[in-house]
Amino acid sequence: MKKIGVITILNVNNYGAELQAFALHHKLKLMGYDNEVINYLYYKNPMYVAEAKSAPLIKAPKINKLKDFVIKWIDKYSRFAHPEIAKVRKERFDNFHGKLTSLSPVYNSYSSLYNANLPYDTVIVGSDQVWNPNNGTNLDPYFLTFAKNGMKKISFASSFGVGKINPEYHAVYKNWLNNIDFIATREADGVKIIKEITGRDATHVVDPTLLLTKKEWESILVPYEAKEPYILLFVFKESKYVNDFAYHLQKQTGYKIIRVCKNEMRVESDDKMINIRDFGPLEFLGLYQNASVVLTTSFHGTVFSLIFEKPFYTIAPGSKNNNSRQQGLLSLMGHPERLINEGDAFPDTANLQIDFTPVREIIERERQKSVSFLENALKA
């Protein structure tokens, strides 16, 4: 049987990234396709080797470079300061892919990928913000320019992460996009961007995590045993507004608060909030399975709220301008009111519950549309 290689973002200690990478790989397996994830390290991975060829399209401001440098050292300090927690967390992340995901050998640099003799007849660029112009690396690999002659090239749910591309970069993006044979993107804004830049009609598909049903996710997760209802808090950056919102909901419901942390770093806590710092992707899913309410700033935090059918609110941070992903998803699902802006008055908790029957129908419709795109592209 011929083999498929999937390139996306993974091995970045991020729940959403790891789960979406697994999801597309697993769905292809369920569809009968032999495939593996190309283990090309993302530029933020500490083992990635930067080269002149891997320089980004847009030169990052010095302040951004400084932030990346500081974050890397904070991560190193965090692992040093909390070795036991860091060890357990890393083992859980590593075991997740080790047990469930077929991975290629590691490619830790641009050159190592482009010089490799890849065993695929088809390559797919997967989801996440692989086409974001602000990524601090060369985006060539995520437009499949490493593919040898004769390889079929497909994009599935690839995201720009922004609502528009600066016209200054349209020519570069046009060349990149026209290198791909079949194009599907995750956001409606992405469809518009591709049409504007290339004139091509891209297909709007769901994030790979939505390709798997609630039952399929439940078949692999590690359950979280809770003796009482809880509000699940999943945010990337400390926010007084989000914390205050959680406490507000706690007063209204009497539920405890569990915050799943983005790394092992110690977070300020109190007797009203439990911080979990050592969970892997499967334990993370277990938290979603048993949550009573979810508050999140994350795109994938929103997605898993929908999959597990949990009442939720997605908070758009005031400092970010890339909220089109959440806006598009929640509009598609018929619940744009679940996206609130940081600083807004807290919603009336009388409207907390959601009727997920129509949401379930929309997800199934969009899932089938997305699977059809994959089937047609792979068989063409």
- In tens, the pLDDT along 296-309 reads 999 999 999 999 99
Model pLDDT for residues 169-200, shown as the tens digit of each residue? 999 999 999 999 999 999 999 999 999 999 99
Do 3-213+364-379 and 215-359 share a fold? Answer: yes
Q: Does the structure show a pLDDT above 60 at 1?
A: no
Tell me which residue of 269, 335, 341 sits closest to 303, measured CA to CA. 335
Tell me the C-alpha distance between 15 and 225, whole Å: 20
Model pLDDT for residues 57-76, shown as the tens digit of each residue? 988 666 666 666 655 555 66
**In sequence order, what are the residues at sequence separation of 6 or more whose Cβ sits closer than 8 angstroms to the Cβ of residue 131?**
139, 142, 143, 158, 159, 160, 161, 190
Tell me the C-alpha distance between 266 and 282, whole Å: 21
Q: How far apart are the first and last CA of the chain?
A: 16
**What is the domain partition of the chain in residue ranges?**
3-213+364-379, 215-359
Do residues 32 and 220 lie in contact, with contact meaning Cβ atoms separated by under 8 Å?
A: no
Q: How far, in whole angstroms, is CA 141 from its chain's centroid? A: 18
> Quick one: DSSP state of residue 270?
B
Residue for token digits 């569990």? Answer: 258
- Radius of gyration of the chain, Cα coordinates, nearest whole angstrom: 20
Tell me the C-alpha distance between 93 and 85, whole Å: 12
The predicted model scores a pTM of 0.93
Q: What is the pLDDT of residue 179?
A: 98
Residue 80, token pair as written in the block: 């040093």
Do residues 274 and 288 lie in contact, with contact meaning Cβ atoms separated by under 8 Å?
A: no
CATH of 3-213+364-379, one of 3.30.70, 3.40.50, 1.25.40, 3.40.109: 3.40.50
CA angle 199, 205, 207 (to 5 degrees): 130
CATH of 215-359, one of 2.40.50.100, 3.30.160.100, 3.40.50.1370, 3.40.50.2000: 3.40.50.2000
Residue 202, token pair as written in the block: 């891209």
What φ, ψ does residue 339 adopt, rounded to 5°? -100, 120
Tell me which residue of 197, 169, 38, 44 sits closest to 116, measured CA to CA. 38
Residue 236, token pair as written in the block: 């990337």
Q: Does the structure show a pLDDT above 60 at 264?
A: no
- Looking at residues 244-265, what average pLDDT do you find? 89
Q: What is the pLDDT of residue 78?
A: 60
